[in-house]
Structure formats: C-alpha cells, structure tokens
Amino acid sequence: MSYQRLHQQLHFIFEIDKLKTIVRQSSLFKSDRRENDAEHSWHLAMMALVLTEHADHSIDVARVLKMVLIHDLVEIDAGDIFLFDTQKDHNNTEKEMLAAQRIFRLLPKDQATEFINLWIEFEEGETNDARFAKAIDRLHPALQNLSNNGGTWAKFEIDLATVLDKLQPIKKGSVTLWEYVENQIKKLPKDLT
Amino acid sequence: MSYQRLHQQLHFIFEIDKLKTIVRQSSLFKSDRRENDAEHSWHLAMMALVLTEHADHSIDVARVLKMVLIHDLVEIDAGDIFLFDTQKDHNNTEKEMLAAQRIFRLLPKDQATEFINLWIEFEEGETNDARFAKAIDRLHPALQNLSNNGGTWAKFEIDLATVLDKLQPIKKGSVTLWEYVENQIKKLPKDLT
C-alpha cells in the first residue's frame, strides 16, 4: 500500500504536540500551576461527555468532542489570547485562519477540509453542537477561577459585570449550566470580582 | 430543578483534574520534557480521530474516543506503571479496579456504570473498539521514542525483541500501523534498542 496518507497523518500528529507548550492564563483547580492547551482540550472533552444532558438543544456528542479536541490547535501559530484582553480581538482573526490552513492542511485533503469546516463552525458558534462546545469552553476556566478565589478575574481585577458578560456563551448552550455558574460567581466575596 | 446530578458531575470533573499531575516515562516529541496523562489522553483522542481508516476492523469512533479519554483515570489513585517495568503487573490489577470504582462512582450511577464498563472493555482489549484504542495507546509512546533516538527504550536499555513484543497490541488493532512502526524501529541504530 501507499504510505502517503499515513505519512501526512503522522506529520500532523507530530506537529500538534506543540499544543502542550501553549500556556493559558487559567490555572488547574485549587492550584497556581497554569495549564496548557492540550490539558484544557482533554478536560473539555471530558466535560462534553459528562454534561451532555444539560445541553438545551439536541447535540451530536461525537461532533462536539471533535470540536473541543481541535478548537485550540490554531493557537500553535496564533498564540493564546486571554478572554479579557482588551487590546486584542478575540474573534476569528486572520492570523487564526492562516494557522488553521497551515496546520490542518498537513493532513490529507478530505480530513483537512473536515477539520477546517468544524473549526469554523465552532468559531461561528451558531449550530447546536458549536453552541454547546463554546458553552463548555467558557465554563471550564470559570470553574477554575471559582476554585481559585476568583483566579484570573481577581488577578486582573475584572469587574463582575464584565465577567458575566464574557460568560454569556454558557447561557447560549445551557441555561442550567449558566444558572449554576452565575449563582456561584455572585457568591464570591465582593473584592474578588 | 434538582442540582444533585450536576453537583456529582462537577465533583467528578474537579477530581479528574489530577490526571494532569500524573507524569509518564515518555517525553514529548523531540524533547526531554516528560508528558502527563491528560496530555497523553488528548493526543490519543486526536490519533483515534485521524487514524480511523487504518483500523483493521469496523469501529465506532465515538466509543474509541470515550475509551482513550478515560483510560488512564485510574492512575490518579493507582499511579502510572511503566510498560517495561518487570516488577509490577501492568494488567488489570486490583488497585486499578478499586480506583475505577472510587473515581467513576463520583458520577451519577448510570454514568458511573457506563464508564466502568467502558474502562473494563478497554482493559480486556477484546472488542474491535478496545483493540483499536489499545493499538493507539501503544503507538503513541512508540512514536515519541522514535523521535527521541530511542527514548525510554534506550534509557532503560530494553532489547529490540522485548520492545517489539510489548508493542504487539498495535498489530492486533491495525496491521498498517504495526508495519509502519516495526519498520521504523528496525531502522534505529543498534545501540538504541
């Protein structure tokens, strides 16, 4: 057989190892050790599996898993942008699109196209699957901050209204998860947000 | 609504954060930085997605993803056992079963049962899904060692026959992946294995 497809796939698998070196602002639960994008992506996949029943709309868990597993790969080239960074546009920037093209196109064409489309769907956040994936992606660092006495919210002195505003994607995917996290945030001491 | 199920699920999500602190013997590609179980699990999920077409038997990718995402959670209690450790039994030990019971039972009963059964299926390695999941689990550190001039094989002076013997689960899941990795290993300089 031809190993051409396999070689392309292994090249991709090798390249995405770099996700483990992209460090996020958020720390592990009850810890000051900041986590990397690969750890974050694994945790999102576990959350998507365990919290499926709280999605407000019918979802395809396998597609949500794929989305959360690949959603941060563009950061290998484009870097992690902190959610509360006011200097940079966190939306689908040209830099991220170029990264998606470079990284996913290491794969055979059919797989590259599937992943690029899935990544765009996640970024746009309009389908049921993307809404739930985005809800989980916002919920994870919120839970980490809650366990760390406000975490990055406290560290960067983000006010309560801004925190709740930035977490709105949770509400778009799951009212239950939103109500839970909103209640928990409002219980934090006033000086933490 | 009752938040009982959600509280159990969040307790589990919080607990499994510890997977990020379980350090494996294997290092990242072309690196001496050892990786942790969460990073490894994420990479396996990506490999399961990308290499599906090389499975020798019909598989359900969503089930394989679930298996590889949860397969190492027992190591939170039982610790990582190096594949070539001759002092310890790497098979399904009582310690790992106790760990599975403790960790998965943090979840609501239906989810705990599903995950425990899936983990046992993975450990037994007899179904098509489990065979492919196990193949990927052995392939990953083999690729890492290949990129690191023999990596743990060289470090612990494992002979070639033992290396190939321990990697047999790859052959049980995919002849293509097995032939690729066997060829690559045989190309290593003699003093590395």
Instruction: Look at residue A110 and give its three-state secondary structure.
Output: helix
CA proximity to B127, closest of B164, B173, B91, B86: B173
> What are the chain B neighbours of A42 within 8 Å (beta carbons)?
19, 38-39, 41-42, 45, 69
Q: Of B16, B50, B176, which is closest to A107 when you measure between CB atoms?
A: B50
Q: Of A36, A41, A46, which is closest to B13 when you measure between CB atoms?
A: A46
Indicate the angle between helix axes A94-104 and A109-124, nearest 10 degrees. Answer: 150
Give the total residue count for chain A.
193
- The average pLDDT across A31-58 equals 97
Looking from the CA of B179 toward its CB, the CA atoms found within 13 Å total 11
The confidence score (pLDDT) of residue A108 equals 98
Interface residue A71 vs chain B (CB under 8 A): no
pLDDT tops 90 at residue A2: no
Q: Could you please report the per-residue DSSP string of B146-157?
A: HHTTTHHHHHTT
> What are the chain B neighbours of A9 within 8 Å (beta carbons)?
50-51
CA proximity to B9, closest of A79, A26, A33, A55: A55
A177 to chain B: closest CA residue? B6
- CA-CA distance, A92 to A35, in Å (whole number)? 23
Looking from the CA of A12 toward its CB, the CA atoms found within 13 Å total 29
- b/e per residue B29-40 (b: at least 16 CB within 10 A): beeeeebbbbbb
- The average pLDDT across A166-186 equals 97
Q: Of A12, A36, A45, which is closest to B50 when you measure between CB atoms?
A: A12
For residue B58, the one-letter residue type is S
> What are the chain B neighbours of A180 within 8 Å (beta carbons)?
3, 6, 10
Asked if residue A178 lies in contact with residue A143, where contact means CB atoms within 8 angstroms, the answer is no
The confidence score (pLDDT) of residue A81 equals 76
- Which residues in chain B (98-137) have CB-CB distances under 8 A to chain A? 107, 111
B158: containing domain: 4-192
Taking CB atoms and an 8 Å limit, are A42 and B19 in contact across chains?
A: yes
Q: How far is CA A70 from the centre of its chain?
A: 9
Read off the pLDDT of residues B143-192 as tens digits, 9 standing for 90 and up: 999 999 999 999 999 999 999 999 999 999 999 999 999 999 999 887 65
Total number of domains in chain B: 1
- pLDDT 10s per residue in chain B (193 long)? 568 999 999 999 999 999 999 999 999 999 999 999 999 999 999 999 999 999 999 999 999 999 999 999 999 999 887 777 766 655 558 899 999 999 999 999 999 999 999 999 999 999 999 999 999 999 999 999 999 999 999 999 999 999 999 999 999 999 999 999 999 999 988 765 5
- CA-CA distance, B131 to B127, in Å (whole number)? 6
Query: Looking at residue B40, which CATH number applies to its domain?
Result: 1.10.3210.10
CA distance A39 to chain B (A): 5
Taking CB atoms and an 8 Å limit, are A45 and B46 in contact across chains?
A: no
